[in-house]
Amino acid sequence: MKAGFVPGVPVQALLDAQAEVWRQAPSEAVALIGAPSALQPTAAVRAEFPDGRIGAVKQVAIAVLHNGSELAFRLTWQDPSADTGADGQDDVGFPDAAAILFPSRPHAPLMTMGAPGLPVTAWYWRADENGRGRQVTAEGLGTSQTVDRDQVFAQGVYGNGRWAVVIARALRAQSAGPVAQFETGAAANFSVAVWEGSHAERAGIKAISLGPLSGWHELVVDGRT
Amino acid sequence: MSKRQLAMVMDLNKCLGCHTCTVACKQLWTQDEGMEYMWWNTVNTMPGRGTPRDWEQMGGGFGPDGQARPGRLPKRAEFGEAWKFDHEGSYYGGQGDGSHLKIKGDSPEWGPNWEEDEGGGQYPNSFHFYMPRMCNHCTHAACVEACPRGAVEKREEDGIVTVNEDRCRGYRFCQSACPYKKMYFNHQKKVAQKCVFCFPRIEQGVAPACARQCPGRVRFVGYRDDEAAPIYKLVDKWKVALPLHPEYGTEPNVFYVPPVLPVSYGPDGDIDESKPRIPDEYLVSLFGPKVLDALVTIKAEREKKRTTGESELMDLLIAYEWKNMFGGFDRSPETVSVIHWRKKS
């Protein structure tokens, strides 16, 4: 997949998932599968979510743009219910969510959310925190932690039975955590995850994409300047 | 496995259902935003559906094979919302005696003490008793084991189970896993919250507020392995204090001395010594089959105390001196510098 170069488009404009710049961006449909029950960190989670009950969202359309300093992903998927965690929805429900995952270091494994010494980085959007993304790192199942809440921009809009969510961050980020960094003209790896709140999906209960590179998809950040 | 384990014994024969424990806990711990509906300690009339409503049917804990048993999340309405009363309208609304105190908003359909004094059985053999409940700080805690983030922790030094709110992301697996439904969810802060066994008091030698404030001297506090203190004597030596629903497989560290009510009346109105007022099978359904032995011991020791004036067990349960109930955690709360613990910023 290629991150198209849109010089001069500010990140605030990219955060509008319905902006013209996104209409012109090529979009690719990617199939999602449920994260395996066997990989869930605890027996209680595995008992509640056997295989077949994980991964309600089956497909997501992905487009990627960058403006030379920020990299932005637009994810769109069908979802009959907007679970936003708003009043009245916060009883026993969970909010919809989506994230982009990157290896922070070469060879960081996707399926186990990294490994000790091989961290992964997630840019995370959740419908009850719309507008304010989280940057998360992990070095294995159950180890994810929010490293900051101000570097990732994440803005979702719901309409016509679809979520359209833009998740963006600076190509180069200043962070104390082991976060992924990007260069124009270079290739990077990524994967996506979508959580369907109305199916009580949260934590490791999610739909994920599996690409050809040990599960990762390749992303080429267009190097034209 | 923690090095030591703090525990509590509640003597149900002495609980008068006054809710002082519940209010003491509320005042100390659950006044903040999002905690309005939380009652880490509750007292319910038994038999009853309890709080949250029908919690015994919500699953969680472990099956006979030791495998995690799926549970479900309790709904807010099953706990009962914290309703407010229209004091202004009642006192200052100009209606005089014609106005009565009303609930603001929708009428609630459940609450933390909804079935007070209803009980069970048929007249003249109706019966009830009060049962306080709080987190059991289990040895094999389902909440600790369920959390995929390791955010629920069992303290090494004393076995108190706490939530690390910095790790918690509000996934609520702990809440479905707890078979006692004593994990609460703060819908404002989006984190799980629960009884902390008043650990900031414990750390300074003060018993938890629910125990210290109890006017009935119902609650004993101390380390499980302190052989000189009442917990060990009641649980391990005399075997009269039992966990609630041991079949849930979590090894609770709150124990109950089962209630012994008067005997029943026969159809002719005479006292029937052969039948207890509370059916044995009901107590077995709560505390397991060992409760029958416990009842025999309690009755025998009562008789011994009555006839000879001597019984170590009865002297323990009577608790002549309150300080002897707390296994050394008997400092005055007035001596504690930080009573209402706040997270360090």
> Which pLDDT score is estimated for B167?
96
If you ran DSSP here, which 8-state letter would residue B237 be given?
I
> Which pLDDT score is estimated for B344?
45
* Structure-model confidence comparison of residues A208 and A87, the more confident one: A208
Chain B residues whose CB is inside 8 A of the A128 CB are 190
Per-residue confidence at A101, pLDDT binned at 50, 70, 90?
very high
pLDDT-above-70 percentage for chain A:
97
Residue identified by tokens 């009842």 is B295
- State whether residue B145 sits within 8 Å of chain A by CB: yes
Q: Cα distance from A203 to chain B (closest Cα, Å)?
A: 7
Q: How many CB pairs under 8 A join A and B?
A: 58
> Which pLDDT score is estimated for A74?
98
The answer to whether the CB atoms of B148 and A90 lie below 8 A apart is no
Q: Are B84 and B95 in contact (CB under 8 A)?
A: no
Q: Is the confidence at residue A219, as pLDDT, over 90?
A: yes
DSSP result, B31-78: -STT-TT--SSEEEEESS-TTTTTGGGSB-SB-TTSPBPPB-PPPHHH
> Which pLDDT score is estimated for A221?
94
Chain A residues whose CB is inside 8 A of the B148 CB are 40-42, 45, 141-142, 203-204
Which residues numbered 189-208 in B keep a CB inside 8 Å of some CB on A?
Answer: 190
3-state class (DSSP) for residue B142: helix
Q: Quick one: which of A10, A30, A28 has its CA closest to A19?
A: A10
Its ipTM equals: 0.94
> What is the pLDDT tens value at each position of chain B, 345 positions in all?
789 999 999 999 999 999 999 999 999 999 999 999 999 999 999 999 999 999 999 999 999 999 999 999 999 999 998 888 999 888 888 888 888 888 988 888 999 999 999 999 999 999 999 999 999 999 999 999 999 999 999 999 999 999 999 999 999 999 999 999 999 999 999 999 999 999 999 999 999 999 999 999 999 999 999 999 999 999 999 999 999 999 999 999 999 999 998 889 999 999 998 889 999 999 999 999 999 999 999 999 999 999 999 999 999 999 999 999 999 999 999 887 655 555 444
Please classify residue B250 by burial: count the beta carbons closer than 10 Å to its beta carbon, then call 0-12 exposed, 13-18 middle and 19+ buried. buried
CA B187 – CA B81 distance, rounded (Å): 12
Residues B294-311 pLDDT 10s: 999 999 999 999 999 999
Q: Are B29 and B196 in contact (CB under 8 A)?
A: yes
DSSP result, chain A: -EEEE-TT--HHHHT-TTSHHHHTS--EEEEEEEPPGGGSSSHHHHHHS-TTSS----EEEEEEEE-SSEEEEEEEEE-SS-----TTS-SS----EEEEEEESSTT--TTTT-BTTB-EEEEEEEGGGTT--EEEEESSTT--EEEESSS-EEEEEEETTEEEEEEEEESS---SS------TT-EEEEEEEEE-GGGT--TT--EEE-BTBTBBEEEEE----
Q: Cα distance from B187 to chain A (closest Cα, Å)?
A: 7
Chain B residues whose CB is inside 8 A of the A145 CB are 167
Strands, DSSP E only, in chain B?
A: 6-11, 42-46, 129-133, 152-154, 161-163, 183-186, 191-194, 219-223, 242-243, 254-257, 263-265, 271-276
Q: Are A3 and A67 in contact (CB under 8 A)?
A: no
Q: What is the dihedral of CA B233, B45, B23, B151, to 10 degrees?
A: 70
Q: Is the confidence at residue A88, as pLDDT, over 70?
A: no
